[in-house]
């Protein structure tokens, strides 16, 4: 058996069904073996970077480790950005890269590059394997590291001759499983006691709460505390929930900011947020100032990183939250009304609904009041399109000025419906994420919201979705400029370099040339249910191009103030 075959047998045994990447000479043993392994489906992309984004989203929504493969040299370096993204998002992805034959290393062979050191800062483990008999052990070790503790990406580089090495008939190890990070019982008791005894507070929910939202909401309802979400966690809590105070951080809501500014709330529970720049409105000191801070996370490195934490609770959220709820039961809390009685009707959710209201009414077809007559702008376009799409649609949102409108104005209708990656912020990530999400959950409607700048980076992946028969709607906001930097410079420097704008390109015509159903709009009147339904029912990917130059100021919150502070 070739070493490459042993690797694929092990991955298949661990539930791998897709390999994302691009074939090349230095990984030819793997792709040759796939001829005899129909249970493994290669997703051949147009760019390795896009493959890495697909693999990350697949890991996120399938709950399994995913696999991404690229050639030596340039193929490997194209994967580094995706590895950094997976590391930031705590997603278990195995990156396999080829390497030149062992005997030619150091001799300036074609596409030679020692990539193991390059991957080390952005993975949990990176290694070059130079002996066939070591390959399987190293793959097993890497996969174990990827899923253990705080999950994350790993990288294994395999020279061509090592992939082809005959290693006999090895015993393929059993599937590996992750051991839970169980919280300390005393920490759970202390957290419950503080939550029960300190009066009014609030919860900041981050992306680490995904998968435990129900328990966190149950805790919030017990405490009668409002919940603010980070931009990354938008989509976890439906907008109409009576404790939803909106998004705090980049492009967030005034309702959430006023909650944080309410100094009568003397305690805050941070659930699954690393408290980074975008989640804290540029490290707003008021988030924790004068408050008792409890932080729940499975990553101990987040405790005290930027904010002082009074009570850190380390563990998996699925173990922490039930533990706290059980301890509150033991304490008999709440006995009658909680100390925070009335917060359910505190007005924060009402304020959030008011912030959403204009977008939802101004985009409605039956608006007659001239004062609220719909304008053709990003806010109204996105709100109208959302009304015409299924409620359970998952939106994978790319990086651009439209992202701030999504965060601020698009209400969450069902849980887990927004994939927003402002945390790492790689342009084009929304396109690959849509494909990874759809492969992981085929029955869920998926819509990618992207811009022309991102589309020109990774837009050719719509061909990948066509080749895989994936019904994904790609909405491209085409303003013929790099919108976020355009507005950022305009606000910060009061001038904009001419290179930020370009000539309009007909993206719908590009899709047409590729045989992909498309529709181009240039007014609100163009956006109709019939047109959307036709795109959704095309049986594969479709492109909705929105030609729109919006000169309104995007709701970017304090981002511009933060950038403007430098140099002063």
Q: State pLDDT tens for residues 232-278.
A: 999 999 999 999 999 999 999 999 999 999 999 999 999 999 999 99
Give the whole-number percent of the chain exceeding pLDDT 70: 91
Mean pLDDT of the chain: 91
Predicted pLDDT at 94:
98
Task: Look up the pTM and report it.
Answer: 0.92
19 with 67: CB under 8 angstroms?
Answer: yes
Taking each continuous run of H as one helix and of E as one strand, the counts in the chain are 21, 18
Asked whether the predicted pLDDT for residue 369 surpasses 60, the reply is no
- pLDDT mean over 312-326: 98
Q: Cα(41)–Cα(24) distance, rounded to whole angstroms?
A: 17
In tens, the pLDDT along 416-459 reads 999 999 888 899 999 999 999 999 999 999 999 999 999 999 99
Query: Taking 80 as the threshold, does the pLDDT of residue 162 lie above it?
Result: yes
Residue 224 has pLDDT above 90, yes or no: yes
Using a pLDDT cut of 90, give the percent of the chain over it.
82
- Of residues 455, 447, 470, the one with CA closest to residue 516: 470
Coil, strand or helix: which one is 436? helix
* pLDDT value of residue 499: 78
- Residue length of the chain: 568
The pLDDT value given to residue 363: 42
Q: Which pLDDT band holds residue 567 (cuts at 50, 70, 90)?
A: low
Nearest in space to 246 (alpha carbons), one of 402, 410, 46, 6? 410
Q: What is the signed CA dihedral for 219, 222, 226, 228, rounded to 10 degrees?
A: 0
- For 87-131, what is each residue's pLDDT tens digit? 999 999 999 999 999 999 989 888 999 999 999 999 999 999 999
pLDDT at res. 423: 80
Contacts of 498 (CB under 8 A, 6+ apart): none
What is the pLDDT at residue 403?
Answer: 93
Q: Read off the pLDDT band of 335 (50, 70, 90).
A: confident
The DSSP element (H or E) to which 483 belongs, if any, is helix 483-493
Residue 138 has pLDDT above 60, yes or no: yes
Q: What is the DSSP string of 259-307?
A: HHH-TT--EEEEES----TTTTTTT-GGGTTTSEEEEEES-GGGTTSSS
On the question of a cis peptide bond just before residue 48, with omega within 30 degrees of 0, the verdict is: no
pLDDT one-digit tens code per residue, 69-82? 999 999 999 999 99
Ordered domains of the chain (ranges, CATH): 3-164 (3.40.50.970), 185-346 (3.40.50.1220), 363-564 (3.40.50.970)
* pLDDT above 90: residue 365: no
Distance between CA atoms of 252 and 403, rounded to whole angstroms? 11
**pLDDT above 70 for 562:** no
Helix (H) or strand (E) holding 429: helix 429-440
pLDDT number for residue 364: 43
> Does the pLDDT value for residue 220 go beyond 60?
yes
pLDDT at residue 254, as a whole number = 94
Does the pLDDT at position 355 exceed 80? Answer: no
């Amino acid at each position: 058996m070739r070493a490459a075959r042993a690797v694929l047998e092990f991955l298949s045994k661990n539930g791998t069904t897709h390999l994302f990447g691009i074939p090349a000479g230095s990984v030819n043993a793997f792709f040759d073996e796939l001829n005899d392994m129909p249970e493994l489906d290669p997703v051949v992309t147009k760019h390795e970077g896009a493959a890495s984004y697909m693999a990350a989203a697949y890991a996120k929504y399938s709950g399994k480790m995913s696999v991404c493969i690229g050639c030596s040299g340039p193929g490997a370096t194209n994967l580094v950005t995706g590895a950094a993204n997976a590391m930031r998002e705590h997603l278990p992805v195995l990156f396999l890269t080829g390497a030149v034959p062992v005997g030619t290393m150091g001799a300036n062979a074609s596409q030679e590059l020692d990539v193991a050191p390059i991957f080390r800062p952005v993975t949990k483990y990176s290694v070059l394997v130079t002996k066939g008999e070591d390959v399987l052990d190293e793959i097993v070790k890497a996969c174990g590291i990827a899923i253990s503790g705080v999950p994350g990406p790993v990288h294994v580089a395999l020279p061509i001759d090592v992939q082809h090495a005959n290693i006999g008939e090895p015993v393929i190890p059993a599937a590996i499983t992750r051991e839970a990070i169980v919280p300390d019982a005393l920490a759970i008791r202390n957290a419950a006691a503080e939550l029960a005894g300190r009066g009014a507070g609030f919860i900041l929910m981050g992306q680490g709460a995904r998968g435990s939202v129900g328990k966190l909401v149950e805790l919030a309802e017990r405490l009668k505390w409002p919940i603010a979400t980070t931009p990354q966690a938008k989509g976890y809590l439906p907008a109409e929930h009576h404790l939803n105070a909106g998004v705090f951080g980049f492009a967030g809501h005034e309702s959430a900011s006023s909650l944080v500014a309410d100094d009568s709330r003397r305690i805050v529970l941070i659930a699954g947020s690393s408290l980074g720049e975008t989640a804290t409105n540029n490290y707003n000191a008021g988030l924790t100032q004068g408050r008792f801070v409890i932080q729940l996370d499975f990553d101990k490195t987040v405790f005290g990183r930027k904010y002082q934490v009074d009570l850190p609770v380390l563990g998996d959220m699925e173990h922490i939250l039930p533990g706290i709820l059980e301890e509150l039961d033991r304490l008999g809390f709440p006995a009658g009304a909680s100390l925070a009685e009335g917060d359910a009707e505190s007005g924060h959710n009402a304020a959030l609904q008011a912030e959403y209201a204009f977008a939802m009414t101004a985009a409605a077809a039956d608006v007659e009041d001239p004062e609220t007559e719909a304008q053709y702008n990003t806010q109204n376009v996105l709100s109208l399109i959302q009304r015409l799409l299924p409620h359970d649609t998952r939106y994978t949102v790319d990086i651009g000025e439209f992202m701030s409108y999504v965060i601020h104005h698009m209400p969450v209708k069902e849980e887990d419906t927004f994939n927003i990656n402002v945390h790492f912020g790689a342009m084009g990530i929304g396109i690959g994420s849509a494909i990874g999400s759809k492969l992981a959950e085929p029955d869920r409607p998926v819509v990618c919201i992207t811009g022309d700048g991102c589309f020109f980076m990774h837009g050719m992946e719509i061909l990948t979705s066509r080749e895989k028969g994936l019904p994904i709607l790609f909405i491209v906001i085409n303003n013929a400029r790099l919108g976020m930097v355009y507005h950022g410079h305009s606000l910060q420097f009061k001038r904009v370099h001419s290179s930020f704008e370009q000539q309009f390109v007909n993206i719908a015509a590009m899709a047409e040339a590729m045989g992909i159903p498309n529709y181009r709009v240039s007014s609100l009147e163009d956006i109709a249910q019939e047109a959307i339904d036709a795109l959704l029912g095309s049986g594969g990917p479709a492109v909705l191009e929105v030609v729109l130059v919006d000169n309104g100021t995007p709701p970017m919150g304090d981002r511009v103030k933060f950038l403007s502070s430098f140099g002063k």
